[in-house]
A and B are shown apart, each in its own frame.
Chain A
Amino acid sequence: MTFKRFEGGQRYIADEGLMASVNAALALRRPLLVKGEPGTGKTMLAQAIAEGLGLKLLSWHVKSTTKAIEGLYTYDVVQRLNDSRFGGKDVSDIRRYIHLGPLGRALTSDEQVVLLIDEVDKADLEFPNDLLRELDEMSFTIRELDETVVAKQRPMVVITSNAEKDLPDAFLRRCVFHYIEFPDKERIRKIVGVHHPNLEHKLLESAVERFYKLRSVEGLRKKPSTSELLDWLLVLTRAGVKPEQIEAALPFSGVLIKQEQDRDLLERVRGRPGWKGL
């Protein structure tokens, strides 16, 4: 095999399926699309791949207003205008006003890099489609210079999505897809251990049990995620809540369940047999 193989990172434990997906993306030179609930370590994965392969990581955090072209480059025409009128600088070289974006830098880099396109679903519906050509051909044109840039080293592209919006089919077909499952109890205990190392064992056990019970309620709009569990545990310890109290009721449930509709749903679920004290 001629590609570098990913075997997991030092601090990142990848399961077999995830490693298979990463290696397929590396070998077949396709972008890796990682989906999963918040708190499943999607963003961390890109770091782990970069570390594992000894490559530099470039991140592009997508927002609702992000345009595909910004990832490639921006042309600071206002600065140029300002310079020409008041700056007394030489403005004949447009190149000075072209700034490369993360994707642009990844494509022009001399060495291979890992490019993270984080939360691609945050942007406009058409955003992923606008990236297709550049990701496929690994080249782009700077219109203002009439110059085509071809990647020297094809970057490993990792794209994450929270599934807020659905991605276009044409885009999906070009990606290697992997869905990261929400961590199971054993794994979440380890994650909690990293953040709150001095937690009382019994409290942790009860809290984790309750947390998963809560997540199993059908019809929740927003299931509580890892970060909410961590916050909740912090509140519980600060308030000196005893493990028995967690078993009897759900103190500070507002930390876990934030949406009005979900609170109403819980109210209804509590009445059903087997869900008492939720």
Chain B
Amino acid sequence: MKKIFSLFLLCTTSLLFAADKAATVSRDTDLFSKPFKDAEIITELSAKTTITILKRKGGWYEIKTSEKQGWVRLTHVRLVRKGKGKQNDNSGVGEILSSLATGREKSDKVTTATAVKGLSEEELSNAEPDVDALNALDNFAVDENANNESGLATRKVDYLEGDSPTAKAEPETNSEDDE
């Protein structure tokens, strides 16, 4: 009775991962008929097989190859790389930023804000501490007891073994609903 995800939230899935994207599989991986571990295996795709992503469901992508269609694990997929730029060439980042921006209300390319200071190695190395800027962060802080405006409901999920910050169980185990 560990985790009961009884929440069926009204969803706006799943533009999270853009559909119809060119990708490859990062390793030899099974192509399943359904998005489940125990589903029938259609075939094994060898590493680097080119695929097209159709949609996502949970931890799975529905994909097609030149011959087959089915489901593969999310983490075994790599999007085709953008930007062939060399070092000090901004094309990679620039390209992805502008291509992403097109999906949004304003399709302007990412404009370089005035007086942008970066966080390159050099800029970080030369930084002088700015305590005023630090104190100014207080202006936007949100109180611990502020209303949650996201509309999201919490879930009960445990850290993986060994990751927990305390030896004991997590604090929100109010054990109210434990039976």
Real complex partners, A and B?
Answer: no
Chain B residues in the interface with A (C-beta under 8 A): none
Chain A residues in the interface with B (C-beta under 8 A): none
